[in-house]
Structure 1
Amino acid sequence: MNTSPTIVVLAAGQGARFHPARHPLDQALHGSTVLGTTVAHALQTGLRVLVVTTERLVPLLRPALPLRDLLVLDDASAQRGAGQSIAAGVRDSPDSAGWLVLPGDLPMLRPATILAVAGSVATHAVSYAQHGGRRGHPVGFAAELYSELASLQGDDGARRLMARYPAVGVEVDDAGVLVAVDPDDDLDAPRWPLRRALAG
């Protein structure tokens, strides 16, 4: 088994977090895209980053990631919800010392925050980043939950798993844990990240 958890970035884009007509992950942001920025921050942790995505978004991720770290779902699988994407990522990395589930639309999340949650995976079955007492992402799952994670389906599967096990919040000074991109966001607005965090 590896000694570090794997970051599973959810970018299949068919779950409840994503608008059916407009896709936030390919919006331009800071010379990259929303998804590209999220993945770049994940890569800065030094942990393995595995992106679960669809064919449409692969061009956003190459050449930042090798093909072995891109898990491309067909449309039918992507439409089954976030649980399907989490399960696919976990099954693709069975030797990991846990998993950090990170939605692809969180480009303001800091690498240090990801590492803080990663540090809790070894001692807690479920953990998550929180800011000001508010729960955010990423969510960490210990290796002992492999079987349950690998069989998740739908958009609510991970929530039910979090309810079943004691979940520990890792308090961080990072509002990016709460800032998800919406297709209607003005990403050029100077106060966009702060506005989204306070409005959530």
Structure 2
Amino acid sequence: MRANNLWCGILLAAGSGRRFDASGQSNKLMQALPSGITVAASSAKHLLAVLSRSVAVVAEHTPALATQLAELGCDICVCSPPSAVSSQGMSHSLQCGLIHSPADCAGWIIALADMPYVNTETIAALVRTMQSGAGIAVPVYQGRRGNPVGFSREYLPQLLALRGDQGARSLLKIYPVSEVAVNDAGIFQDIDLPQDLIASMNI
């Protein structure tokens, strides 16, 4: 059994969100949900409630987002602008977070900042599964896998070798995965389009 405080969170918040606003003027992560809290803040609060040592990866051109997440308790890792790393995409952001995270992390829960409806209990269940020895853990609701995903440190070389925008999910097709049953449709619900902000789900 690994110690609770050795697990870390990584919140990926450096994406461009072009489907939400093709002009790039409106950052979807800074939009308010019906509760009044921003998309990124909701995602961060749920992660921090379980993993107080969490790194938020943000882009250089989003200082307001970085400030908001830092005030909530995230350690901030500023990533290169998306235009400079477009060939690497999400994998680059993830690797920035991994390198920036504490060296004694036994593993990571990798969460997406545009998924504000993931329940705190889902994150806690993933951590418990990892503490019990799982190398990779993924939440499952009604037979479907979702986010976030947990990885133990043994997979660090594979995570650092990723390329492209698919991110760590490509490893789930190659290595053994522990599926964690949860009662949480939020593991599928991202904020991709403006109409997603009016989702009727409870945070």
**TM-score where L is the length of structure 2:** 0.82
Q: Is the 8 A contact 1:54 1:72 kept in 2?
A: yes
Confirm whether residue 71 of structure 1 aligns to residue 81 of structure 2: no
Q: CA shift at 1:61, angstroms?
A: 4.1
Q: Deviations over 1:37-58 (max 9, x none)?
A: 1111111114311101113333
Distance in 2, matches of 1:7 and 1:68, equals 9
Q: CA shift at 1:112, angstroms?
A: 1.2
Confirm whether residue 26 of structure 1 aligns to residue 25 of structure 2: no
Confirm whether residue 49 of structure 1 aligns to residue 54 of structure 2: yes
What RMSD over aligned residues (CA atoms) do the two structures have, in Å?
Answer: 2.7
Q: In 2 relative to 1, CA 16–63 (structure 1 residues): closer, same or farther, beyond 3 Å?
A: closer
Distance in 1, matches of 2:18 and 2:54, equals 23
Q: Is the 8 A contact 2:138 2:150 kept in 1?
A: yes
Distance in 2, matches of 1:61 and 1:120, equals 30
Distance in 2, matches of 1:129 and 1:113, equals 7
> Which residue type is aligned with residue 30 of structure 2?
D
The farther-off stretch of 144-153 and 167-176 is: 144-153
Distance in 2, matches of 1:18 and 1:89, equals 24
Confirm whether residue 134 of structure 1 aligns to residue 144 of structure 2: yes
Q: CA shift at 1:158, angstroms?
A: 1.7
**TM-score where L is the length of structure 1:** 0.83
Q: Is the 8 A contact 1:14 1:20 kept in 2?
A: no
Tell me which residue corresponds to 1:39.
Answer: 44
Q: CA shift at 1:27, angstroms?
A: 1.2
Tell me which residue corresponds to 1:197.
Answer: none
Distance in 1, matches of 2:53 and 2:196, equals 31
Q: In 2 relative to 1, CA 60–48 (structure 1 residues): closer, same or farther, beyond 3 Å?
A: same
Q: Is the 8 A contact 1:4 1:47 kept in 2?
A: no
Confirm whether residue 110 of structure 1 aligns to residue 115 of structure 2: no
Q: Is the 8 A contact 1:51 1:71 kept in 2?
A: yes
Q: Is the 8 A contact 2:115 2:187 kept in 1?
A: yes
Q: CA shift at 1:77, angstroms?
A: 5.0
Q: Deviations over 1:115-134 (max 9, x none)?
A: 11111223111111111111
Residue in structure 2 matching 1:96, options 105, 117, 131:
105
Structure 1's unaligned 5+ residue stretches are: 195-200
Deviation beyond 4 Å, 4+ runs, structure 1: 15-20
Q: Deviations over 1:173-193 (max 9, x none)?
A: 11111111122325235x3x3
Q: CA shift at 1:91, angstroms?
A: 1.4
